[in-house]
């Protein structure tokens, strides 16, 4: 493994196994094989759970990291990931047209990386899932998107992630009445405060 790969990964994996537990809990709940992770930076923990992951990032450090194929395979193997993982990396702005077929992914991941759902839901299969947190207002955008419906929440307690489908009507209720369009949320990259705050949400693509 290249020293730069080891350094970037050590920095990303400061809470060892945290993301592994997250992605494994998600796959256990929603299944699937192929994941798309726009704004991934170097979070290859998605490959500890999903056999095929396409990572997208614009950061200048990411092409070097993902070019160390042997180093990445070594990390995935040491974390007990699936054998012969398929990894693709696209160095791009996910808001631009990418060389990806529409409706091909089982899971779309949006964690701390801007309005991913607005630009990348088109790559998700109908019936596929979006994992998204409140960062940059992406949950608010997803909740306004007619192609998506809330299908679960991911709760975190002492580093243990669980997916729940109970009482979904009690989530996504604003603390105060708000009038915000998707355009405004996308521009400001700030969302809505809700009465309940799970770690993340799972939406299903329905159209
Ligand atoms: C705060 S990091 C989060 C990384 C990772 N998702 C995680 O949770 O550890 C946000 C990443 O999103 C990337 N990013 C933000 N906007 C982007 C865009 N429009 N296209 C591609 N990458 C983007 C940044 O380059 C950065 O690496």
The predicted-structure confidence for 157-203, as pLDDT tens digits, reads as follows: 988 999 999 999 999 999 988 888 999 899 888 888 999 999 999 99
Q: Is 164 exposed, middle or buried (0-12, 13-18, 19+ CB in 10 A)?
A: middle
Is residue 11 lining ligand 1, measured as CB closer than 6 Å? no
For residue 56, the CA-to-ligand 1 centroid distance in Å is 8
Gap between the Cα atoms of 51 and 118, Å rounded = 25
> 99: pLDDT confidence band, cut at 50, 70 and 90?
very high
- pLDDT value, residue 159: 85
| pLDDT digits 0-9 by tens, 6-33 | 999 999 999 999 999 999 999 999 999 9
Which atom belonging to ligand 1 lies closest to the Cα atom of 135? 1
Residues 6+ apart with CB under 8 A from 127: 204, 205
Nearest residue to 186 (alpha-carbon basis) of 146, 130, 140, 124: 140
Residue 64 has a pLDDT of 98
Exposure of 13 in the CB half-sphere (CA atoms within 13 A): 19
Listed by start position, the domains of the chain span 3-205
| Closest to 65 measured CA to CA, from 41, 101, 93, 37 | 41
Residue 179's pLDDT is what? Answer: 83
Is the shortest distance between the CB of 79 and ligand 1 below 6 Å? no
Task: Please determine, looking at this structure, whether the domain spanning 3-205 carries the CATH number 3.40.50.150.
Answer: yes
User: Residue range 131-158: average pLDDT?
Assistant: 96
């Amino acid at each position: 493994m290249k020293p730069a790969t080891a350094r970037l990964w050590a920095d990303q994996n400061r809470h060892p196994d945290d993301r592994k537990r997250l992605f494994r809990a998600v796959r256990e709940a929603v299944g699937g094989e192929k994941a798309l992770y726009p704004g991934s930076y170097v979070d290859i923990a998605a490959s500890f759970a999903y056999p095929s992951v396409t990572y997208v990032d614009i950061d200048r450090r990411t092409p070097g990291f993902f070019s160390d194929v042997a180093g990445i395979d070594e990390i995935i193997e040491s974390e007990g990931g699936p054998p012969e993982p398929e990894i693709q990396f696209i160095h791009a702005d996910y808001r631009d047209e990418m060389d990806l077929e529409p409706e091909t992914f089982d899971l779309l991941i949006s964690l701390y990386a801007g309005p991913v759902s607005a630009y990348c839901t088109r790559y998700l299969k109908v019936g596929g899932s979006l994992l998204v947190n409140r960062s940059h207002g992406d949950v608010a955008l997803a909740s306004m998107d007619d192609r998506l419906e809330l299908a679960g929440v991911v709760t975190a307690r002492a580093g243990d992630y669980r997916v729940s489908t109970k009482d979904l009507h009690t989530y996504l209720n604003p603390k105060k009445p708000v009038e915000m369009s998707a355009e405004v949320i996308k521009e400001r990259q700030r969302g809505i405060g809700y009465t309940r705050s799970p770690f993340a949400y799972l939406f299903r693509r329905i159209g």
